[in-house]
Structure 1
Amino acid sequence: MKTLIPQIFSIRDDEQFNEAALAIFKYQAEFCVPYHQFITNLNIKADQITRVADIPYLPISFFKSHTVVSNTEKEEIIFSSSGTTGQIQSKHFVTDLKVYEDSFNKAFEQFYGKIEDTCLLALLPSYLERDGSSLIYMIDALLNQSKHPDSGYFLHNHEELFNKLNTLKAAGQKTILIGVTYALLDFLELYQVNFPELTVMETGGMKGKRKEMVREELHEILTSGFGVDAIHSEYGMTELLSQAYSSGNGVFDCPNWMKIVLRDTNDPLTLLNSNQTGGINIIDLANINSCSFIATQDLGRLLPGGSFEVLGRFDNADIRGCNLLVQ
């Protein structure tokens, strides 16, 4: 299966994607024990699956209750989700960090160009204050690759960030500010910036620090406060080794080795067409050493061309169908 890894990141069309997805499915259906058991309990014969559309998706909750790996190699790192005290964390056992590094490096370059040419500023206090964040691992690596001396992290030193943004604007430097939502709002309560060329990327989440806001209201505050036309977003999670990116209006695009599929909220095994609302299923071929076929707890809408919107999350009543499959 290692021989397939280079092919994943050179995928150019649906035919190549489907061929790789089917090969990875056959492998994981045999060697990923939780996925194998899940498929068996559904009375699905893996060797009879010949279309990507027929591949079953593992509920994301399995990453909380099982070790989801598809080989016997020792993990190089364990990524874990954030959560309040007492909550069970998702854990992603990563046996080959180079796959993750290739995934985020190639995706970042696909959407934003070479990191070497960019000043990257990271306002991610809640992530920095805990261990096991896959986002921090990615940002660490990107910061190390950035050639700009001003690239770096910011915790609560908002005045320093304000001064740095003004200096970078004056220099005409290509700059990306990536921040957790509540921290960006905290900054704007103290400072306003007019930096039209700045890329502001929010990673989502108030982390219990502020009340949740609808995207339109949030992005209106952020665009006004930073003087930009649009707010970018990153869509990723502990259980994935790939990220989708939005360049505005909450519309996300995937890298070539990742796809979004929607499922019926009342029948998790039924897939939906574009412009319908449903549960977000993700095919992440970079998850070759865990499980590439994940049924998330997010609601979304698929747009023509493969773009998608994230509309919210299931409440407990909405995911009864998924719970039936977990038992």
Structure 2
Amino acid sequence: MMADHGSALVPAGGGPVRHVPVLLDPVLEALDPKPGERFVDGTFGAGGYSAAILDRGASVLGIDRDPTAIAGAKPLLGRYSRLSLHPGRFGDLRAIAAERGEAPLDGVVLDIGVSSMQIDDAERGFSFQKDGPLDMRMSRAGPSAADVVNRFKVGDLARILNFLGEERQAGRIARAIEARRAERPFERTLDLAGLVGKVIGRSHKDRIDPATRTFQALRIFVNDELGELVRALVAAEHVLKPGGRLVVVTFHSLEDRIVKRFLRDRSEAASGSRHLPDVQHKDVTFEARNKAVTGDEREIALNPRARSAKLRSAVRTALPPRRDAEATAFVDLPSLADLPPSGAA
């Protein structure tokens, strides 16, 4: 579940390497930006999508909860007078767009997940490829992954790893974490990855590192990524004008399932029958495009992170937004608000 929002130049192996936005051509085709139109890039990153939209003559409001992304956008701000930025969560885009006077919008694009700049920075703690603090906070505020690992009860940990990471060995890993943290707390990424590797083991058939699902689950939980996605989809329904385009790129089955379910629900009107006479009519608020778009062989060769990417898009109808606040329901997971105090796990 690794996104690449960027188009920034970063040093690697003796020279700058361009971070290529995933599925850029299909994103532009679905958004179809035109001069004078207004868009929100809800996951700004290094501005890859935003720059491409701006090059088409439209204006962009970029939103990002990572202060590093906002600080790194100065070159783009100097280049484009039609670009503005707002630090915040894309789940709050309805309030942000209203506050900035941007609504109604011609398009919203969301690239869900963690950016390659965050992954590549060991000090952010998103990856176990290099050792770093067990952090994973996109906003650099609030409880960290270390707090979750060291303080949640074993049952809560197992539910987080099982649902958000789809980890079959969640119970064994959670119990091993509980036993080890009694000796000393987890503070570093490689420390946790090493323990997970010992619990699960690795066969020659494994295509991913044993710790991948655990790290994925912790990152999604720490940043409430699925909740943010739900809130952003509902917000887009409110801020898009008739004919406005919604484009979402996901990198994981849980994310894609939420987007698919939302668009299916919003593009189908409920109908009653003699067996179900009291079914309530639902307004069709989006016209969903039927098939998810994935990366072709050329793009995957250029950017391996495109391998798991899926793009879904829809066009806003003229009917008013639905009143229901949520787009989907989750299993009963613990909340960061329920995090036990230090030493109470």
Tell me if both proteins adopt one fold, taking TM over 0.5 as the criterion.
Answer: no
| Higher alpha-carbon Rg | 2
TM-score of the superposition, structure 1-length normalised? 0.31
